[in-house]
Amino acid sequence: MESGNLSAVTEFIFTGFPKLQDGGLLYLFPLLFIYMFIVIRNLMNLMIFFAIRLDTHLHNPMYNFISIFSFLEIWYTTATIPKMLSNLISNQNTISFIGCLLQMYFFHSLGNTEGGLLTVMPIDRYVAINTLHYLTIMTPLCAQLSAGSCIFGFLILLPEILWISTLPFCGPNQIHQIFCDFTPLLNLACTDAFVILVQGVIHALAILITCLIISLSYIRIIIVIQGIPSAEGHKKTLFTCAVHTADFLLFFGSVALMYLRFTAIYIPFWDTIIALTFSVLAPFFNLIIYSLRNKDMKDAIKKLLCSPKVFNISGM
C-alpha cells in the first residue's frame, strides 16, 4: 500500500477512530446512540415533508424551505455516519479510492446545498417583514432559490472532485479523519503543496463570504425589526431570526473551525470532535431548531399521523 508505485494506493485507512480494543467503545456507543436518534429524526423529517405537502395551511415559502432542508439532511447524515459505525466495529477501517471520492462529493455537495439554503432563507424573512405581498413575491422566488441552491451545491464541487481523481497517490494511505475530507486526502497526494494551499484558500474564502452575507442579512433584518410597532409581531419575528441564527452559528461555526485553521494543527481528539459537530450534532439539532419548536409543524405531524391518507397511499 505504501510503495512508490503510483498505482499502488487503491484504498485508504481511516485513523480518526480507535479500534474497539483500543478504546473504540467510548466512541461506538455514543455515536450509535446519537445515530439512532438521527434515524428517528430522519423519519420525522419524512413526516414533515409529507405533512407540508398534504396540509395546505403549510403551503408557504418558509415551510417549503424547511421541507427541502429536512429532506437533504436525510442524505447528509447517511453519507458519513453508517461508514463511521462500520469502521468502529471493523478490523479494516478501509474505503476504496472511488468510495472516498463519492463520500466526499455527496457529503460536501449536500452540505453546500444546505449552506445555500441558509444563505437565501434571510431573504424570505426580510420580505415577510417588509411587504404585504409576501406570498405573491416569495412563492415563485422560493422555488427559484431552492433550485439554485441545489444546482449550485452539486455542481460547484464537480471540477474539484474530478481534479482530485487525477492526482497520483503514491505514498501513505492513512486518512487521519473519521470520513473522507479534502485536506486529509490531499495531504496524501504526491503533488505540489502550493496547489493544496490554493485549494484551502478557495474553500476559506467561500466560507467567509457565505458567513458575511448571512451575518449582514440578519443584521439588516434586526434593524428592520426594531421598527415593527406590534410587540407581538416584534417578538415572533425576533424569535424566528434567533432560531435561524443559532443554526447558522452551530453549522458554520464548526465548519469554520475545521476549514479556516490553515496551518493550525489540532490534536486528534479535537479534530474528531469538530468533525462530529458539523457532520452529526448540527444535523441532529436542526430538527429542534426548524421543526419541533414550531407549533404549526407539530400540529401538521399529528394530523398526518391520524389521517386516513397515510394508510391509503396505494389507493391514491
In a domain, 6, yes or no: no
What's the whole-model pTM score? 0.82
Whether residue 277 is contained in a domain is answered as: yes
Residue corresponding to grid cell 463519492: 102
Closest alpha carbon to 12 in 87, 79, 85, 97: 97
Strands 94-96 and 11-14: antiparallel
CA distance 41 to 291: 10
User: What is the CB neighbour count within 10 angstroms for residue 173?
Assistant: 17
Task: Identify whether 51 is part of a domain.
Answer: yes
Residue 3 maps to a domain: no
**What does the pLDDT read at residue 77?**
86
Number of domains in the chain: 1
Residue-wise pLDDT tens for the chain (316 aa)?
Answer: 444 444 457 889 888 776 655 555 676 777 777 777 767 766 666 676 676 667 666 667 777 787 788 788 888 888 998 888 888 777 778 899 999 999 999 999 999 998 898 888 888 878 877 777 788 888 888 889 999 999 999 999 999 999 999 888 887 888 888 899 988 898 888 877 777 777 778 888 888 888 888 888 888 888 877 776 666 666 766 777 777 777 788 788 878 878 877 666 667 778 888 888 888 888 877 766 765 556 666 666 666 566 555 444 434 4
Q: Is 178 domain-assigned? A: yes
Beta bridge partners of 94: 13
- Determine the pLDDT at residue 118: 85
Q: Is 216 domain-assigned?
A: yes
Q: How many Å apart are CA 93 and CA 173, to the nearest integer?
A: 12
Domain that holds residue 199: 11-311
Would residue 1 count as lying in a domain? Answer: no
Q: Is residue 316 part of a domain?
A: no
Q: What is the CATH number of the domain that holds 230?
A: 1.20.1070.10
Long-range contacts of 31-34 (CB under 8 A, 24+ apart): 31/81, 31/84, 31/85, 31/88, 31/276, 31/280, 32/85, 34/280, 34/281, 34/284
